[in-house]
Chain A
Amino acid sequence: MITIATVCGMGLGTSMMLAMQVRQLMKDEGIDARVNPVDLGSFKAQPADIVVTTTAMGHQVAGTTAKVVLIDNLIDRQHVKARVMEAVDAFRAGE
């Protein structure tokens, strides 16, 4: 199973919207994944295999061992899908 953290500053808005989309994507792709929306503080205490956040938050997750996916446009489903699947494939290849 892959653990995916969707991260934003407060864990209330952006991370929740990302989590909804990534959960749906994992379901559509038949991938066994646990998707957790978290705020920055929780993310640092509880790492994941892949972290999905917005480009503007990229510097906040720098240094993590997780594969980082940065999203510009949360409502562009193709963009989100392409970026997240790239990271899933890379993670699987590294296993």
Chain B
Amino acid sequence: MNTPEDARLHTLDVRAGISVSTWREAVEAAGSLLVAAGSCTEAYVDAMAAAVVELGPYMVIAPGVAMPHARPEAGVIHPGTVVVTLATPVAFGNPANDPVDLVIAFAAVDKNAHLESLQAITALLLDEPRLNAVRAATNDDELRAAVSGEPTSTEGH
């Protein structure tokens, strides 16, 4: 479970190529998936957006990749991660890494319980072919397969 080779990212839900016009809509879209999956409250989604405003867009951690989240006490019910890709990239206000086309939102209960998910997210972002497949996914099934790292018919392992 903990080996990098098997660092598969388990998501509660994914959405490929959604249309949004602002960073806030992107955060809310990802947040609504967390809420629908029972992972957090609406207040948590508001807190994710507030964190971008209050702390700055530092959670845009790599070119095109945003990782919105808030503190556990903002309304986490149980831990979870969702992945959303955007049809048209949007700016978060991070000059180095805008515009964003991949949003990985999470709800965590504490640092340690969350470590495995972060390792899986890191593994995904470092795996260029897989990251390209995530960005290229045209429907939710393709996106889910790319995110989880399951082999597809076109590429072997």
Chain B residues with CB under 8 Å of A17's CB are 61, 118, 121-122
Q: Tell me, yes or no, whether B78 is within 8 Å of chain A by CB.
A: no
Cα-based distance from A13 to B59 in the complex (angstroms): 8
Per the CB 8 Å criterion, the residue count for chain B at the interface is 31
Structural contact, B122 and A56, CB atoms closer than 8 A: no
Structural contact, A74 and B96, CB atoms closer than 8 A: no
Q: Given known contacts A17-B118, A56-B94, is B63 in contact with A10 (CB within 8 Å)?
A: no
Chain B residues with CB under 8 Å of A14's CB are 58-59, 61, 67
B residues 121-135 near A (Cβ < 8 Å) are: 121-122, 125-126
Chain B residues with CB under 8 Å of A40's CB are 55
Structural contact, B115 and A54, CB atoms closer than 8 A: no
Complex partner residue of A12 from B58, B96, B114, CB under 8 angstroms = B114
The residues of B with any CB-CB pair to A shorter than 8 Å are: 51, 54-63, 65, 67, 69-72, 94, 96-97, 106, 108, 111, 114-115, 118-119, 121-122, 125-126
The residues of A with any CB-CB pair to B shorter than 8 Å are: 8-14, 16-17, 20-21, 37, 40, 53-57, 60, 72-77
